[in-house]
């Protein structure tokens, strides 16, 4: 247990540094964007030079860059991400509204890709070089080459348009006023295609990692020793080879979270899912840079949290991690 806590403490300190750099970076990008929040506000609402001056003073935008950075960080400390120009609402509220949908989409896609990918990887890796192995290998490579948004469109064509089994988009049937279990089921049906589009690509990744890992573990001496002890093949494959080969894919889970967040932008756009990714696209369209920066900050925090969780899970899976520190 102490091993996990030591790891947690060390990672938290590192994460704070990383977050500080991200905050500085987003501030710089905000500075670099042409015009500031006032310009965008005036552009949509209208007003004269006096109004501009007044707003600049009120929003503290007429002060030096360093002061503005300090204000920015201070506001962040209070979880105040500023005002969205496009929605005329606090950015924090807009993001919190959309975040659950993205989390649901990402979580389901990750679960699907990891579970199915590693399972198929075990199947392929149980008999290396067999026909099934080679077929899965080439198939997964082809799948990994598919652009996620295009896969989404193809799935829509096949399942929503031609077969009419599943809805074309959205997260639930509009104005249906369902509650409880019925609503959950409705949302689940709407999420099938987006989760499939997002998940299948990464499924290929986990499949290949698991398969490669199994091939590597098979060659290790303790597997020969397990055979020498007369253990049944199935036990060797599952309890020893797969169990050891599982470690790299688990590490990948953390690393993939950033990529999957990025992928959710296009998938949410294709399927009209009202999530964080779609919000980013809307922010770009409306030239709402503060909102975009807020989304980037939120994503960074999300990725850091996921990586931390994965690292701790990994420490439980691999007893060798952090052993020297805990003993010291």
Task: Please report, as residue ranges, which positions from 254 to 283 form the binding site for another protein (by CB under 8 A).
Answer: 258-259, 261-263, 265-266, 269-270, 280-281
Count CB-CB contacts under 10 A for residue 215. 16
Give DSSP secondary structure letters for 250-300. Answer: HHHHHHHHHHHHHHHHHHHHHHT--SHHHHHHHHHHTT-HHHHHHHHHHHH
Those residues with Cβ within 8 angstroms of residue 311's Cβ, 6 or more apart along the chain or in another chain: 7, 11, 254
Residue 318 CB, nearest distance to another protein (Å)?
6
Would you count residue 22 as binding another protein (CB under 8 A)? yes
Task: Supply 258's token pair.
Answer: 């950033």
Would you count residue 146 as binding another protein (CB under 8 A)? yes
Cα–Cα distance measured from residue 25 to residue 58, given in angstroms and rounded to the nearest whole number: 24
Cα–Cα distance measured from residue 300 to residue 306, given in angstroms and rounded to the nearest whole number: 10
Residue from 5, 21, 54, 65 binding another protein (CB under 8 A): 21
Would you count residue 295 as binding another protein (CB under 8 A)? yes
Q: Which stretch binds another protein (CB under 8 A): 19-27, 62-70, 91-99, 108-116?
A: 19-27
Would you count residue 145 as binding another protein (CB under 8 A)? yes
Q: How many residues sit close enough to another protein to count as binding (CB under 8 A)?
A: 72
Count CB-CB contacts under 10 A for residue 198. 29
Would you count residue 12 as binding another protein (CB under 8 A)? no
Would you count residue 73 as binding another protein (CB under 8 A)? no
Q: Are 214 and 128 in contact (CB under 8 A)?
A: yes
Residue 207 CB, nearest distance to another protein (Å)?
14
Residue 119 CB, nearest distance to another protein (Å)?
19
Residue 151 CB, nearest distance to another protein (Å)?
8
Would you count residue 188 as binding another protein (CB under 8 A)? no
Between 181 and 228, CB nearer to another protein: 228
Name the residue among 281, 280, 287, 285 with its Cα closest to residue 37: 287
Between 109 and 265, CB nearer to another protein: 265
Residue 195 CB, nearest distance to another protein (Å)?
18
Would you count residue 303 as binding another protein (CB under 8 A)? yes
Question: 């998938």: which residue's tokens?
Answer: 267
Q: Which stretch binds another protein (CB under 8 A): 1-9, 113-121, 142-150, 188-196?
A: 142-150
Would you count residue 85 as binding another protein (CB under 8 A)? no
Residue from 50, 64, 319, 328 binding another protein (CB under 8 A): 319
Task: Supply 235's token pair.
Answer: 């036990």
Name the residue among 106, 101, 102, 110 with its Cα closest to residue 253: 110
What is the total residue count of the chain?
Answer: 328
Would you count residue 173 as binding another protein (CB under 8 A)? no
Cα–Cα distance measured from residue 327 to residue 70, given in angstroms and rounded to the nearest whole number: 42
Q: Are 200 and 120 in contact (CB under 8 A)?
A: no
Would you count residue 238 as binding another protein (CB under 8 A)? no
Q: Are 241 and 217 in contact (CB under 8 A)?
A: yes
Cα–Cα distance measured from residue 123 to residue 206, given in angstroms and rounded to the nearest whole number: 13
Q: Which of residues 210-229 bind another protein (CB under 8 A)?
A: 220-222, 224-229
Q: Which of residues 27-56 bind another protein (CB under 8 A)?
A: 29, 32-34
Q: Which stretch binds another protein (CB under 8 A): 56-64, 95-103, 192-200, 294-302?
A: 294-302
Residue from 153, 187, 215, 313 binding another protein (CB under 8 A): 153
């Amino acid at each position: 247990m102490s091993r996990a806590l030591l790891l947690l403490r060390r990672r938290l300190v590192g994460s704070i540094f990383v977050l500080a750099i991200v905050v500085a970076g987003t501030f710089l990008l905000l500075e670099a964007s042409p015009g500031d929040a006032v310009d965008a506000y005036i552009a949509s609402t209208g007003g004269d030079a006096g109004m501009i001056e007044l707003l600049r003073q009120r929003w503290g935008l007429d002060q030096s860059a360093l002061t503005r950075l300090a204000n920015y960080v201070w506001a962040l400390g209070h979880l105040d991400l500023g005002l969205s120009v496009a929605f005329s609402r606090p950015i924090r509220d807009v993001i919190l509204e959309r975040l659950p949908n993205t989390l649901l989409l990402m979580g389901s896609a990750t679960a699907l890709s990891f579970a199915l990918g590693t399972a198929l990887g075990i199947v392929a890796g149980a008999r290396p070089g067999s026909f099934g192995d080679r077929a899965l290998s080439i198939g997964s490579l082809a799948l990994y080459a598919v652009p996620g948004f295009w896969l989404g469109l193809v799935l829509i064509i096949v399942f929503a348009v031609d077969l009419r089994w599943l809805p074309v988009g959205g997260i639930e049937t509009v104005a249906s006023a369902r509650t409880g279990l019925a609503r959950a089921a409705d949302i689940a049906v709407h999420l099938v295609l987006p989760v499939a589009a997002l998940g299948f690509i990464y499924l290929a990744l986990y499949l290949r990692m698991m398969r490669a890992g199994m091939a590597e573990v098979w060659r290790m001496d303790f597997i020969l020793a397990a055979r020498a002890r007369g253990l049944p093949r199935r036990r060797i494959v599952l309890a020893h080879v797969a169990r050891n080969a599982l470690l790299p894919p688990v590490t990948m889970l953390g690393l993939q979270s950033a990529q999957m967040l990025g992928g959710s932008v296009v998938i949410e756009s294709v399927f009209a899912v009202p999530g964080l990714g779609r919000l980013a696209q809307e922010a770009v369209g409306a030239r709402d840079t503060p909102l975009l920066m807020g989304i980037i900050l939120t994503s960074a925090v999300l990725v850091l949290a996921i990586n931390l969780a994965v690292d701790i899970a990994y420490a439980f899976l691999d007893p060798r991690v952090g052993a020297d520190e805990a003993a010291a």
